[in-house]
Structure 1
Amino acid sequence: MTGPGSATPGRDADAAVRGVLDLSPHPVVGVDDAGRVVLVNALAEQLTGWTHDELVGRPVEELLPQELRGRHERLRTAYHHSPVRREVGELEALRLRRRDGSEVPVDVALTPLTLATGSTWVLAALSDVTQRLATESRVLDLTRSYRMLAAINQAVLRAGSAVDVTAEACRVAVEEGGFLAAWVGRGPRSSMTLRVAAVAGPAARVVGEVGTAVRVDDPRLSGVTAAAVRARSTRSWGDVAHPFAPLPAAAAGEGVQDAVALLVPTDEEDDVVLTLYCHRPAVFTEELVVLLEQVAFNIALALDRYAADAAVRREVAHRRELSARLLTAQEDERRRLATEVHDEPVQLLAATELRLGLLRRRVAAHDPEGLPAVDLVHDGLRGTATALRRLLTELEPPRLDTAWDEAVESAAEQVLEDHPTTWRLVGGPPGWTPETGAQALRIVREALINVRRHAAAAQVVVATRRVEGGVEVSVTDDGVGLADGATRARPGHRGVQGMQDRAETLGGWCRVEPGPDGGTRVVALLPA
């Protein structure tokens, strides 16, 4: 059995191939053109819970959940008509069903092998992606969580204050609305005691100055405020007495002949009531009351907005703290993953490559026809090692113990190593805090990775400049430019979304746009 060549199939050849596959860092299952398992390496035995002898001869679909088997069989049959090598990421992830009935998500890479008999076997290299999917879900969950907070922060209007709202409402009611007097009371819900929050006109002589605690069921008052608190709805003098009956002396003595109390429907725990007095009787008709209730509603919106302002400020401070913790945790997790990848898989790959070299010499001496299969595994091993080295570069925490230009230079040299794209840095020192600088460097590095992967650029420029609100950092290439819709993060593509999330959690923003002279520009504004 070989790649494009041929070999004599048989028990010894199968054992030799299985011995080679046991050196693979991945679980590997071999399947013939009838869809039956023919080879299983040791790691695949561990992953599936089946032994080699138990699996050989079984349909490969037995390794899948029942609901996926029919579709997989159709796809497998189509694949065997024109088998080609498929790398990890080219195929959708599968759920592998273990012997005990439990399931595990796996990525799959396929390598077809042609036998001397003319039949084709397919080697499926499996990767357990349980931890990766869990991490993505957590990050997605953590990320998903911090984007919502940023939207709320941008939506809140911060001008003015609640005191200004109530004072201005009373002033406008008197000066513009023509009412005799107005006052706003605030107190515990359904309480008969309100504290004067604002007052205009002669109402101060009835209820007192701002800050005065008023018993709204005091018989000297009009009674409409107490009625509104009890009913939790608007009440006018016509609702509590005959429209033309005289008001209590204290109010009547100020010229009050009609009154209305409007419950301001805020989201707060306290009751807020706007009481208006008029010097003419029977003024507060149903039509006018409806209009005034809309005014009360608008006041409620403003009060809720300003009440939320303090809460938002606290949330922002808390979010900043959580963001700093999250970013620190992300860097710690990246550092841990980088250490684990370097200390275990990379070292294991190096040792495996050494053993594979020894095995190749033996195969060359005793079974030269087996060399193509060994070389195929060796190529796959080298590809895995290259992918791990690139992963280590991406996981490596940003180092800002040097100047910004040196940190960018180090990142660019790592990302664009052995790549024809040249780069240059323009602009002065940004003056960021270490935390902001670390995230800025992450954004620059991700943008450079995208340049390497997608831009086909001859040159890329990393620039910083001070602008109103912070420091702008941009990465501009002269490559192929953006496809339609590429300025927004696409589902399943974390690069653009990751850059935007990093900027937004720091109180800034990041966007992807066409370059001024073609190509692509990634620009982020971060607080200095």
Structure 2
Amino acid sequence: MSNDVRRHGIDAMTRAILDAAGPAVIGFDEQARIDYANPAALTTFGRTEDELLGRPIDILVPEEDAALHLGNLSAYFAHPGARNRGGHELFRGIRKDGTTFPCDIGLTPAFTDDGLWTIATIVDVTEQLAAAARLRELNRSYLTLARFNDAIVRAADAQSLYEETCRVAVEFGRFHGAWIGRLAPDGALEVVASAGDIDGPREGGPTTRALRDGTAAYDDYRDDTSTSILDAAAIPLHCGGRAVSALTLCSDRPHLFDEGMRALLEAVAHNFSFALEAFDSRDRLEEVAAQRTELLRRLVLAQEEERGRIAADVHDDSVQALAAVDLRLGLLRRRIHEAAPELEDGVARLQDSVSSVTTGLRHLLFDLEPVVPGVDLAKMLRDAADHTFVHVPMTWTVEVEGEGSLDLPDELATQAFRIGQEALINVRKHARATHVRVLITPDDEGVEVAVIDDGVGVPPTIEPRAGHRGLATMLDRATITGGWCRLESDGPGSTLRFWVPRRGSAVVTVS
């Protein structure tokens, strides 16, 4: 392999640096033949050097992806250029044992005396995608629970509450089916409201047990081939000290009802039961409202903890490893300047690629940084704008209009900041603006924030395109707080305007 590497003008020092790199590194020639693989690549793909060197690079790609891979490779060879990792497109790699994994690939071309040689940096992103999926699942669960509590607060009677709860469970919670059952006067189990696909009540099933025992019941149907349901939960709903009905949720996803989900469902059932009581005694709705505030606090806490964990993982592993590679490339570049100046340009491009990836990760670290409790919203947005536009030819201002207070509970201030932060990032990425103005207007009931840019504008809709969750995430955050969010674009430029209440929508006045 040493001769193959030197044939492309890469000396032993460069090879040592590539060998020490944390990510998998594959080198291939103009015929797309592999002539270098570092130890991380051998581990990632489960192969030996002898199994890779001299082989076409498409052995690392699943057969069903071969046509797409060939097209991408042909386009690259037609116009060689650096392709940084961290883009929107992910690929699949295949190990020797046939298992596949999602990966992010960066390409760095090096023009040597023997022709084009390409360094491919390959990172297995399985864990990152799993972490993102866990965060999405967590957000969906808390948003669903918040909507359950919305239904509890807004329902006019028990039947409308039953129907809305089932609808929310299926439409927002993505449960396979949801239904509410109760015991008829003759003792038979009957369904009073439902949504989605349900197999119907089962005598002796979780619903019957929840009504009989007055406690939550959970069933595992993963070995039952007669149904598409994998897990089911039945939560008793009490009124007057007895279980009068039970909410049953059916899932086609395994292991959904873990300890955390069970605790949250039982907390919602507690609120639900209070609502049933409140149809006879409205003053008890105040306690239900307080529970929504607690759900919001827990949502914000869970989101910020997950952000902090991901940021710590990125900082401890990826950023430090890339910084070490960047330092070594700098040292190598100085040595090559004297010993082999014809190679300096290629090493410089490689170092620039590493620096670009490091910068992108540092931006990500700032975006994920947990919000410090008690910090003024205006100051947080100024810091976010300063970081977001630090290398962008754009001016910005953050202004507070009026004499109102910016004091918000930590969970509401965090949501307001995250919405504003996402809006600023969207301006940087998409608006092509020269100036952005952030206007904060507090009033007695809440705080309104407008992010105004003079860019190209957007269609006046808050609905996201496929794969673009920014606007929908901002709308969800505002909804969870009991506020609102809308996008305005009547001409040049656009305005993202949102409002959050001072105490959250959980606090209501009961007539």
CA displacement, residues 25-59 of structure 1 (integer Å, 9 cap, x when unaligned): 53221222323212212322232222334311112
Partner of 2:176: none
Partner of 1:386: 359
Cα gap change, 1:522 to 1:397, in 2 (>3 Å): same
Q: Does 1:446 align with 2:446?
A: no
1:194-205 map, 5 Å: none
Q: Which moved more, 1:500-509 or 1:311-320?
A: 311-320
Partner of 1:56: 53
The one-letter code of the counterpart of 1:129 is V
Cα gap change, 1:66 to 1:309, in 2 (>3 Å): farther
The 2-side partners of 1:56 and 1:452 are apart by 43
Give the drift of 1:188.
6.4
1:430–1:471 CA contact under 8 A, matched in 2: yes
The 2-side partners of 1:105 and 1:144 are apart by 24
The one-letter code of the counterpart of 2:441 is R
The 1-side partners of 2:7 and 2:476 are apart by 56
Aligned counterpart in structure 1 of residue 408 of structure 2, from 416, 426, 432: 432
Partner of 2:296: 323
The one-letter code of the counterpart of 1:111 is T
Partner of 2:397: 423
Cα gap change, 1:376 to 1:315, in 2 (>3 Å): farther
1:9–1:116 CA contact under 8 A, matched in 2: no
Q: Does 1:496 align with 2:496?
A: no
Partner of 1:249: none
The 1-side partners of 2:36 and 2:139 are apart by 42
2:146–2:296 CA contact under 8 A, matched in 1: no
CA displacement, residues 200-237 of structure 1 (integer Å, 9 cap, x when unaligned): xxxxxxxxxxxxxxxxxxxxxxxxxxxxxxxxxxxxxx
CA displacement, residues 97-133 of structure 1 (integer Å, 9 cap, x when unaligned): 122332221011223333434x433322212211221
Give the drift of 1:370.
2.1
Secondary structure at the residue paired with 1:13? coil
Aligned counterpart in structure 2 of residue 360 of structure 1, from 319, 333, 337: 333
CA displacement, residues 462-507 of structure 1 (integer Å, 9 cap, x when unaligned): 223346863322212222211x376322222232222222222222
Cα gap change, 1:51 to 1:513, in 2 (>3 Å): farther
The one-letter code of the counterpart of 1:435 is E
Cα gap change, 1:444 to 1:314, in 2 (>3 Å): same
CA displacement, residues 432-479 of structure 1 (integer Å, 9 cap, x when unaligned): 111101111111111112222222323322223346863322212222
Partner of 2:30: 33
Aligned counterpart in structure 1 of residue 73 of structure 2, from 71, 76, 88: 76
1:147–1:504 CA contact under 8 A, matched in 2: no
Give the drift of 1:316.
6.5
Aligned counterpart in structure 1 of residue 108 of structure 2, from 106, 111, 117: 111
1:488-527 map, 5 Å: 488-514=463-489, 518-527=492-501
1:26–1:126 CA contact under 8 A, matched in 2: yes
1:114-513 map, 5 Å: 114-117=111-114, 119-149=115-145, 158=154, 189-191=184-186, 318=291, 320-419=293-392, 420-427=394-401, 428-466=404-442, 470-482=446-458, 484=459, 487-513=462-488
- Identical pairs, percent: 38
- In structure 2, the gaps of 5 or more residues are 160-181, 188-243, 247-274, 503-511
1:399–1:407 CA contact under 8 A, matched in 2: no
The 1-side partners of 2:141 and 2:74 are apart by 43
The 1-side partners of 2:150 and 2:299 are apart by 21
Give the drift of 1:307.
5.2
Give the drift of 1:85.
3.0
Give the drift of 1:308.
10
Cα gap change, 1:53 to 1:371, in 2 (>3 Å): farther
The 2-side partners of 1:338 and 1:92 are apart by 22
2:8–2:113 CA contact under 8 A, matched in 1: no
Aligned counterpart in structure 2 of residue 66 of structure 1, from 49, 60, 63: 63
1:463–1:473 CA contact under 8 A, matched in 2: yes
The 1-side partners of 2:485 and 2:477 are apart by 8
Secondary structure at the residue paired with 2:10? helix
Give the drift of 1:23.
5.2
Point out the structure with max Rg over C-alpha: 1
2:93–2:101 CA contact under 8 A, matched in 1: yes
2:84–2:357 CA contact under 8 A, matched in 1: no
Give the drift of 1:152.
5.8
CA displacement, residues 140-162 of structure 1 (integer Å, 9 cap, x when unaligned): 22233344455566667947667
2:108–2:350 CA contact under 8 A, matched in 1: no
The one-letter code of the counterpart of 1:42 is P
The 2-side partners of 1:449 and 1:140 are apart by 20
CA displacement, residues 252-305 of structure 1 (integer Å, 9 cap, x when unaligned): xxxxxxxxxxxxxxxx759xxxxxxxxxxxxxxxxxxxxxxxxxxxxxxxxxxx
The one-letter code of the counterpart of 1:101 is G
The one-letter code of the counterpart of 2:485 is C
CA displacement, residues 344-372 of structure 1 (integer Å, 9 cap, x when unaligned): 43333333322222222322332222212
1:47–1:98 CA contact under 8 A, matched in 2: yes
The 1-side partners of 2:154 and 2:88 are apart by 50
The 2-side partners of 1:458 and 1:397 are apart by 29
Cα gap change, 1:308 to 1:47, in 2 (>3 Å): farther
* TM-score (structure 1 length as normaliser): 0.64
